[in-house]
Structures are given as structure tokens and as C-alpha cells.
Structure 1
Amino acid sequence: MSKVRFGVIGTGGIAADFCEALRGSATCEVVSAVGSSAEKGATFSRRFGLARSAATLNELLQDEGVDVVYVATPHPAHEAQALACIEMGKHVLCEKPLTVDAASTERVLQAAKQRGVFLLEGYMYRCHPLLTALIDRVKRGDIGELRHIKADFGFRVPRDPQSRLFDLKLGGGGILDVGGYCMSFARLMAGVVTGAPFAEPTRLQAVGFRGPTGADEISTAVVSFASGLTATLTCAVHHRVGTEAVLYGEAGCIVLPDPWIPQGVRQSLETSFVVKREGAEEEVVQLRTERPTYAVQAELVASALSSGQAPWPAMSWDDTLGNMRALDAWRAALAPAG
């Protein structure tokens, strides 16, 4: 069986992690890449032993040997690049967030629908078997009725006004960069408790701090859902808030030390969570994949191309749009700098 061939837009760290993860895939391969210059694309392609590089985006999109394009560039570039891919009939795997707001997300989703191509927003944790195992435990009532979720994703990077994490023109701020993980997780679990693919918050409040550039450097959202489930979601790019998620139920809790990236290492194959039931010994649930999470995600894409969307719990188009609307609300609820 021939492999599904990926072209990559971007030559940064995430693009590199993607190419590294796919080295051992039996169903996917990266065949070409394009960077911000022809030289960067060529250097990147040589680094990973790709068949070729493209001097321009148009050259990549004209390549009949590319089936799917992986968009791995700063957030503000996603919309135009995704639309260009869709116009050329290329399937798209786009790094999160798909775009920088709900209005632009709707434009991309509508274009994909009209052109009939596959599109997935790359919250790769949603493709990992950890999520399936967790959902099974919640559904069977291991910790009783779910009451509250705590989800954190934050790290400390030195302030650099020109960095994509701090420059508003580059989509800077923790909410867009990593807050979407926390929000999408809470929305997913809120759906699980009601038998739906996801659920939207009915109330959202936010606190936090905007740094000198105006980017949100740390922020917490407190959200409520119609079922009565609540969540506190914290994200940061200048503070070490960690990467833990905890589900609190009537009869115990489930602790996930690293739900977003296994062991906090992008090429790691192992992860786990702990089930703590009242009056019982803790149970550690270990999970191991044959390939890194980027490869797990790419292989799911390859298997779902004819369907247009990836299977749940990966992000559906409706889920992507709902999540972006929630992120818009989170940013709007956070007081401006000063």
C-alpha cells in the first residue's frame, strides 16, 4: 500500500518534530517542505532526508506528489495558507489554533466544505489513546459523577517583544498558544458527561495578566456548563503553571500529569494517568504507543481522508469552531493591559 504523502509549510521546531515522528510510519511520509525562504526549505529538507523542497508555497501546492499539507507556521499565517491549500484541492492538517478568531475559522471551514477536502485542526492530544482510555473510565463511573475539571498548560519563556509568544501581530499570548488545549479538554469532557461529542460553556469569567506587549502572559478562565459541570483553566507563556489536568468526581478523581504531550517530550511513546477512588488504592493506568503522537495524528489523518473529518474524539469542524468561539470569549473577558 502506498503511503500518504505530506508536504510541510514551516521549518521551525514543531515542523521538525513532525518530520522526526513520521520517520518510522508505515502509512505516512513527508516528501517536501517550504520555508520562509528557498534556502530554509532546502536546508530543512536535507536535514530530514526529504525527497525535495519547494522554493515557494505555490510550488508546494502545485506538487502532485503531495496529498496532505501540514501547516506549521505562526498562528496569523494559518488562515491564508490553509485557504491556499484548500483552493488547490489539498487536504490540510493545520497546527492549532486553526486561525486567530472564530470569524476566520468559519471562512476556512466553509472553504473546505465547498472544495470537499479533508481538514483537521492539530490538537494532537485528541488523537492519542490516552483520551479514549480516560473517556472510558469516566463513562463507566470510576470516579462517580464528574463535578469539576482543572486543566493547566503553561511554561516560562523570557519576554521577547519580537517572539511569536509575545508579539500580538504574531498571535502572541497564552490563550491562543496553549489555552486552547485546556478549553478543548473541558468542552470534550463536558460533552462526555451528557452523551455529546462536546459541550459549550454557558458562562465564562477570566482573570490574568497582560505583559508589556499586551499579550496575555498568564490567565485563568472559570467556565460553567449547562450540566452543572465547572472548570478552571489556566494557561501561561511566562509562568511555570505546569501541564496537569484533574477530573474531580463524586467518588474520587483522575490525575493526568501530562495530557497534552506524553511525558512532556514530543517524541515520547509513554504516558499515564492515576485513578484515585475514595477508600481504594490508587490505580496507575499506563499507555504506550508504537510511534510518537505526531505520527499517531498523521496516521489518523491518512486513514480518514475520504471522510473529510477525523473521527471523535479528534477535533471535528463544529468542535473547532466552538473552541475558537470560547477562546474569543476568554480573551474578551480578560481585562486589557493597564
Structure 2
Amino acid sequence: MTELRWGLLAAGTIAGHFAAGVEESRHGTLAAVGARDAGRAREFAARFGIPKAYGSYEDLLADPDVDAVYVSTPHALHKEWAIAAAEAGKHVLCEKPLTITAADAEEVIAAARKHDVFLMEGFMYRLHPQTRRLTELIANGAIGEVRAVDTAFSFDSNPEETARLGDPALGGGGILDVGCYCTSLARLVAQAATGEAVVEPTEVSGMARLNADGVDEYATGLLRLPGDILATISCGIRLTREDGIRVYGSRGHLHIPRPAWIHPLRTPGTSQIILTPAGGEPEVIEVEATQGVFAREADHVAAHVGDRQAPELTWAETLANLRTLDRWREAVGYGRPR
């Protein structure tokens, strides 16, 4: 394990979750925070006991006491600041999605490779024991041949309080904000079922309700994945619906009513996977998480920083997911004003 001194590039809500995770981690410390507003940076630093607060991202990246940077700006700024961090010689953990498009992600990856730094996209749910148990059950044939997966992540936000979610210039919309989880999960199921390291759908279609600027307020996608696995993925930023994961096989199905990406499961505790054999009674499988997902994420970076990529979220995995999101947004007409 490498001991990492973290700098937080942005001081928003998700940065607060990660800061708390670093405090809980075994191999990370909080070294500095940078924000566009110096007062906000100081307030954030005081809340978490961070020794340094900067009123610009550039000053944060210039700090020699920062080993790794957590980028949590709005989506549209991820590319710029992930590249800047790599150029400054900092290891990079960038909140999902890594960038708005796969082409942009290729540029970030090229920068990480050129400057020989670690880079990982922040899909913290992939590191939760629940997710790992799900893939084990699928790979071990608990429900036989996997045939379909349905997953949803959707919430109703206040447009005035979350204006960025409706702004195409900031990468708004449900597909990029939470649909990326559904896409990642559906692909992960197919990977576990087929034994392939990285898979992409052979077909992608979808529909959405778009706002006046062409940003998806809620959307549904249909994927045909290797193994002829059919996936329905649903998301939204202006619609409350029942979140969850269901995987259907030839000998039963799996149900996760509270996926590892929801807020209550970001802290240590117990979650459930419900296994129902064909014609049998449901079996509740309890999964214990002794560490919060953001602490686990920080320690995962520390464990693999020397490899420059993380085995759970390789660069190939990130690109495959973003290419799928590109196709889903194209299918629903994203960016085409009404």
C-alpha cells in the first residue's frame, strides 16, 4: 500500500463524501482542498480539518505535498482538470463519468499515460462487497444462464437547486449523472456471465423525455449484450421511481432492492441480495460492508497506484462504458433542443 496525501479539486457535496471516506481510509490523509472561491475552500477545510485551502485549482495542483487529486467538478470540467492534474504529476481519481464522451476520455487517458500517473474513474459502487457478491453468484451459476437484467437509478430534483443537471453545457441529464451506473452494472453482469474482461452492447436503443435544451430528464435504454443478454436501463433527474437491480437466468433470478450506489449503503453496514431459484422460495443473502465505499475507494487507489490502473476499473472498462453512454444519448436525441 502507498500512503497517499489527497488534494480535493472542488468543494461540493460529493467532495464532502469523499473527504469523509479519506478520513476513514487506512492509507490516505487529507492534505489540501481547492475551490474557485477561497472562502468556500476555507470553510470546507475547517469542516474536515484539512491543513491547506486554496482559492484556485491551479494552486492546489502546484502543492508539492499533494500526491493524488480527487476531481469532483461538474461533468463538463472533468476532462480539463483531470488532464491538468496529470500534467502536474498528480495521481487522479475522477468522479464518474470520467468525461462527457469517450473521445474526451481517450485524451485524459493519453495524458495519464504520458505523465506516468495513476488514473481511475470514481464508480465507488464497483468496490462494494454487494457488487462483488453479485458477480460471484452470477459467475458461479446461481441462476443458471443469464438472460436479462433490469436496473434503475432515478430521482426527482428541484430544477432551481440543481440547475447544472439541466444544462447541456455542463453535461447535464440523467444518463450522464446516474444512467452511467445502470450502464456499468448491466455490462458488469454480462462480464460476469460470459467471463469476458470487458464487454460492450452490440445494439443500443432508447427513448427519453428531453427538456427545452435537449437534456434528458428521464430515459430508458435497451441493450443487447454478449451472450444474448438483454438489458433495460432506466434513469432520471426529474422522476422518482423504484431503484433496484434484477438479473434473470434460466434457473432463477437475483434481486437487489437497495443497490450499493444509493446513499444509505455508502457507509458500513449490511445489505441484501435476494436469490429466488426457479420454482423455489426466496433466499436472502446478507452482505456485510465493514468500510464505507469512499474509504474503500481511497484505499483501492493506494493499493494500485503503482500499477497506474485499477483492476476493478481499468481504462478499457471506462472507455467501454462511455462509448455505450455516447450511443444511448445519441439514440434519445440528446442535445437537440425542442
What TM-score bracket applies, with the shorter chain setting the length? Answer: over 0.9
Structure 1 residues 86 and 2, CA gap change in structure 2 (3 angstroms)? closer
Amino acid at match of 1:16: G
Range moving further from structure 2, 293-302 or 262-271? 262-271
Residue in structure 1 matched with residue 208 of structure 2 by the alignment = 208
Q: Give the letter for the 1:165 counterpart.
A: L
Amino acid at match of 2:62: Q
Alpha-carbon distance, 1:198 to partner: 2.4
Tell me the amino acid that sits aligned with residue 220 of structure 1: T
Q: Does 1:235 align with 2:261?
A: no
After the TM superposition, which of the residue ranges 273-282 and 255-264 deviates more from structure 2?
255-264
Per-residue CA deviation, residues 248-304 of structure 1 (Å, 9 max, x unaligned), is 011111001122425645335332211111233322121222221111111111110
DSSP 3-state at the match of 1:120: strand
Q: CA deviation at 1:241?
A: 2.1
CA separation in 2, counterparts of 1:23 and 1:61?
21
Paired residues of 1:219 and 1:236 also in contact (CA < 8 A): yes
Cα gap change, 1:262 to 1:100, in 2 (>3 Å): closer
Using a 3 Å threshold, how does the CA distance of structure 1 residues 171 and 26 change in structure 2: closer, same or farther?
A: same
2:320 pairs with 1:322:
yes
Matches within 5 A, 1:279-294: 279-294=279-294
Change (3 A) 1:161 1:216: farther
Change (3 A) 1:232 1:6: same
Q: 1:331 aligns with which of 301, 309, 329?
A: 329
- Whole-angstrom CA distance in 1 between matches of 2:239 and 2:2: 45
CA distance in 2, matches of 1:145, 1:120: 31
Which residue number corresponds to residue 30 of structure 2? Answer: 30
Asked if the contact 1:263–1:270 (Cα under 8 Å) also holds between the matched residues in 2, the reply is no
Q: Using the alignment, how far apart are the partners of 1:337 and 1:276 within structure 2?
A: 45
What SS is found at the alignment partner of 1:224? Answer: strand
Partner of 1:129: 129
Unpaired segments ≥5 residues, structure 1: none
The CA distance in 1 between the partners of 2:171 and 2:320, in whole Å, is 19
How much identity, in percent, do the aligned residues show? 36
Q: Which residue of 1 aligns with 2:14?
A: 14
Asked if 2 retains the 8 angstrom alpha-carbon contact of 1:181 and 1:260, the reply is no
1: CA distance, partners of 2:207 / 2:86: 37
Matched, 1:41 2:46: no
Task: State how far apart, in whole Å, the 2-side matches of 1:19 and 1:299 are.
Answer: 13
Deviation at 1:171, TM superposition (A): 1.0
Is the CA contact 2:25–2:298 (under 8 Å) kept in the aligned structure 1?
A: no
Q: Structure 1 residues 189, 84: CA separation in 2 closer, same or farther (over 3 Å shift)?
A: same
CA apart distance, 1:56: 2.0
Residues 38 and 56 in structure 1, CA contact (< 8 A), matched pair in contact too:
yes
Separation in 1 of the partners of 2:87 and 2:322?
A: 23
Counterpart Cα distance in 1 of 2:216 and 2:263: 26
Matches within 5 A, 1:1-338: 3-160=3-160, 163-261=163-261, 264-311=264-311, 314-335=312-333, 336=336, 338=338
Deviations 1:195-215 (A, max 9, x none): 112211000110110023321
| Residue type of the alignment partner of 1:197 | A
Task: Give the partner amino acid of 1:302.
Answer: A
The 4+ residue runs of structure 1 with deviation greater than 6 A are none
The one-letter code matched in structure 2 to 1:203 is E
Indicate if the aligned counterparts of 1:147 and 1:230 stay in contact, CA closer than 8 A: yes
TM-score (norm 2): 0.95
Q: Distance in 1 between matches of 2:250 and 2:127?
A: 28
Instruction: State the number of aligned residues.
Output: 336
Cα deviation for residue 161 of structure 1 reads 8.9
